Amino acid sequence: MTNPLFYAKIILFGEYGMIEDSQGLVVPYSFYKGTLKFSDLASEFELNSNRHLQKYSDFLTTLDLSDDFTLDIESLKNDISNGLFFDSNIPQGYGVGSSGALVAAIFEKYSVSKLNPDNISKENLKKLKAVFGEMESYFHGKSSGMDPLICYMNLPILIENKENLDRVSIPDGEGGKGAIFLIDSGITGETGPMIQIFFEKMKTEGFRKTLKEEFIRYNNACIEAFLKKDMNPFFRNLKKLSHWAYEHFRPMIPESIFNIWKKGLDSNAYYLKLCGSGGGGYILGFTQDYEKAEKMLDGFQKEVIYRF
């Protein structure tokens, strides 16, 4: 029997802000995916993955998960000794949830009480997010659990605040001129150091104030307008959000992206924002005229993820 596929995820809105109770909107991205498989571990990729799983299974034995969410670690370890590995094309350090997909795959296969993602209650969604946060903390030091939850549910999720989240419908992407797209910064990023920079910034009162009074306001307004497909207020707030990030998230923006970030703001042809923690990997782009934006971003590798 083949194991299910787990897709990558993209945080459209809410990066860093969710730590401070902003809304978040996270969607699955099926271009990248991973699944658990068995092999004779002949390739270096498979062998390395298997070794990482061995270390990860040791970490999982230290977790004290609630009874509803316990894992059969013995079966996992047994499978690892028989050649289990995670076959994935999700790039690591690109902000699209490589560790989240692995956590979701392990939970799905080795959780003792099987859940059906189609009918999980809102309350259990919240509990599951917390469990996933513990499981993913191995990779990042601290995790909200959102990435694995998206990968596990394979549905867009709206984070209303720290306490509440729910499934949500994204407006149908139609073949219009507008697009949401990814830009490859050309370097990988590490989540841990970026989050450390954010928490250092949070120690200053001025940054805390502008995050709460400006970033979170623009972020939440973008989510509300996008879900209503109300594009004028969406792009108005998106420009403010992009400008705020350019001013305040400077250490998280890869150097290769500085100039084109400002070019977008100055020309209004497109707006950029971080995809995940930043520091490298992908950057998110939004435009009302993709053909025009594409020409202005010549030389950068791009992937369209949504048309409108």
Q: Decide if pLDDT at 252 tops 90.
A: yes
CB 191 within 8 A of CB 303: no
pLDDT of residue 118: 77
Structural domains in the chain plus CATH codes? 4-165 (3.30.230.10), 177-305 (3.30.70.890)
pLDDT of residue 173: 66
Task: Return the number of other C-beta atoms located less than 10 Å from residue 254's C-beta.
Answer: 18
CB 61 within 8 A of CB 73: yes
When pLDDT is cut at 50, 70 and 90, the band that residue 95 belongs to is confident
Q: What is the pLDDT of residues 105-162, one digit of tens each?
A: 999 999 998 888 778 888 888 889 999 999 999 987 777 788 899 899 988 999 888 7
Distance CA 164, CA 117 (A): 17
85 forms bridges with which residues in the sheet?
A: 37
Q: What is the pTM of this model?
A: 0.83
Q: Decide if pLDDT at 88 tops 90.
A: yes
